[in-house]
Chains A and B, each alone.
Chain A
Amino acid sequence: MAAATQELSALTLAHATVPGRLTDVSLTLAPGTFAGLVGPNGAGKSTLLQIAAGLLPATGEVTWNDRPLADIAVLERGQMAAWVPQEARFEFGFTVRSVVAQGRFAHGDDDRGVEEALAQFDLTTLASRPVNRLSGGERQRVLLARALATDARLQLWDEPLAPLDPRHALEVLRLGRARTRAGGTLLFSLHDLRVAYCLDVVVVLHEGRLRAAGPPEEVLTPALLHDVFGVRARTAPGLTLELP
């Protein structure tokens, strides 16, 4: 390994374009950023995440840690970044533990950090259950645990909070925050704009184009919310949930 240099960006997209789905999106996330991706249905959030993960060919360039994705072999990609799909279909009844252990594939082992990942996502008691018998939220936690078991610095999650109950959603945000504090970078798509306010960076997509990216209070202005989402923003006293 060469001497470690301070990377400027954990993830960069330069003029990423997929015809009909995403147009000329450029974006840079610094290491340690906890970032959310918002936008109406069909805005291109999943497409962007898949391009960033190197799973969907696009024109333009993607770099991880300032290295062009094209120069990184598939196995090494598996060590550097993890992508979590919006929903998983499990045909076969693998146990929860063995699915989480799949996260270790790129490292050539199948146990390091697996028990910790299971515990973090409250899966220890489910570890021997077949994964195709779980509820949607439980399946989502299995996928997230597998992603964290990879130890990848860059995490790309597609709507991880959607099927989760309030406590597990908060837990996932807490784990994400812990990861980014430790130098990891996390970009995930979400619909709950209230959650977006606790993130470092919010990226707004609209009709396949990047509309804005930056700290939530700067980006999520009433004008933008009206423009992009067609909603009027109003702060009002309401229910606030947090971990005990």
Chain B
Amino acid sequence: MALGVATVLLVVLAVAALGAGDLPLSPARVWAGLMRTDELAATVIWQIRLPRLCVAMLVGAALSGSGLVMQAYFRNSLASPGLLGVSSGGAAGAVIAIALGWAAWSLWVLPLAAVVGAVAATGAVVGLAHRGASTERLLLAGVALNALLGAATSYVLSSYTGIYERNAQILFWLLGGLEDRTWEHVLMALPILAAAAWLWPLGRPMDLLSLGAREAQSLGVDVRSLRRRLLGLATVLTAVATAVAGTVGFVGLIVPHLLRLLVGPEHRRLVPLSLVGGAAFVLACDLASRAAGGLRLGIVTALIGGPFFLWLLRRKS
């Protein structure tokens, strides 16, 4: 039921996103454009709006799915995708690529640098924590590495002030956004679909894990392999999302949290719902950012996410 509602919402938002812009299109014209019977509409939709829509949905699904995984993994509904350094690693990689001028070589360099940074950061955290069994060690290593990578990013940002365009590009990237996304970006984001498909059937073991690793193990869950798989999937999801859209905060925290409040904690329902709900949330935020005259996506998600988070805190206490 809830999944149906979320899907309908996503479709409505998608139609709105395809219709909104400098050239407003009615749903009928959106359809005509999609079918290529209206040439102008077809150009706008197929060249500009559809790739942006696809990237927005994939990024949303990825961040939200990844947040859900982290919350189950750490048995904490306040965990977020960036906990183990994926986002800050991706940011550091991207920022370095921009600052050194590599990003100008090809469209693929920046995302690739972000993915390399993200995966290296998570790898370092897991390596530093030494044993995957202890979530506390992982968390602490994540905190330490996040601080280090943040410092590295700030250093690059502060020492390249001379080259104005590069600095602007860095800031632009750090705030996250979906401007000028092309079909190539959609292609880059495709691993998200594969990771989501892999995550889909893990709902039940995630239920057991989220109530305690030892208990899950005694009930027949291979905890070590499940944890490795979840960590791998969360890393890929966030790394790819960061690579194509920059750092976009709060999605992975709020969407699963909100859905859990709405439909309960069972992951068999939450996994599909988080993927669809995350896509809808980012799409809505992107629409809002376009309506606000190009406010950065990362700012919009934080503007909505921050107050929401405070409201949750008040509600809890």
Contact = CB atoms under 8 A, between A and B. Distances in A.
Contact of B75 (A53, A91, A106): A91
Contact of A55 (B77, B204, B210, B218): B218
Contacts of B204: 105, 110
Contacts of B75: 89, 91-92
8 contacts: A74-B217, A78-B218, A88-B211, A90-B211, A91-B75, A91-B77, A98-B207, A103-B219
Given A78-B219, A94-B265, 17 more contacts: A50-B214, A74-B221, A75-B220, A79-B220, A82-B219, A83-B218, A88-B215, A90-B211, A91-B77, A92-B75, A93-B265, A102-B208, A105-B204, A105-B205, A105-B208, A146-B219, A150-B219
B266 A94 contact: yes
B260 interface: yes
Contacts of B205: 105
B221 A92 contact: no
Interface string B192-226: 00000000000011011011101101111110000
B218 A102 contact: no
Contacts of A99: 211
Given A98-B207, A98-B266, A105-B208, A78 B220 contact: yes
B211 A92 contact: yes
Nearest to B267: A92
Interface in A55-107: 55, 74-79, 81-83, 85, 88-95, 98-99, 102-103, 105-106
A102 B222 CA distance: 14
Nearest to B213: A55
Contacts of B76: 91
B217 A55 contact: yes
B127 interface: no
A55 B216 CA distance: 10
B264 interface: yes
Contacts of A150: 219
Given A85-B214, A98-B266, A78 B207 contact: no
A90 B211 CA distance: 6
A91 B220 contact: no
Nearest to A56: B214
B212 A89 contact: yes
A85 B212 contact: yes
Given A55-B214, A78-B221, A94 B207 contact: yes
Contact of B211 (A74, A83, A102): A102
Residue in B204, B208, B211, B214 whose Cβ sees the most chain A Cβ within 10 Å: B211
Contacts of B265: 92-94
B242 to A, nearest CB: 27
B264 A95 contact: yes
B271 to A, nearest CB: 14
| 3 tightest Cβ-Cβ pairs between the two chains A and B | A78-B220, A106-B220, A92-B265
Interface string B254-269: 0000001000111000
A94 B208 CA distance: 10
Contacts of A53: 218
B214 A105 contact: no
A77 B210 contact: no
A54 B217 CA distance: 9
B79 to A, nearest CB: 10
A33 B46 CA distance: 72
A53 B218 CA distance: 7
A158 B41 CA distance: 68
Nearest to A89: B212
A143 B214 CA distance: 13
A82 B217 CA distance: 10
Residue in A74, A81, A92, A93 whose Cβ sees the most chain B Cβ within 10 Å: A92
A53 B217 CA distance: 10
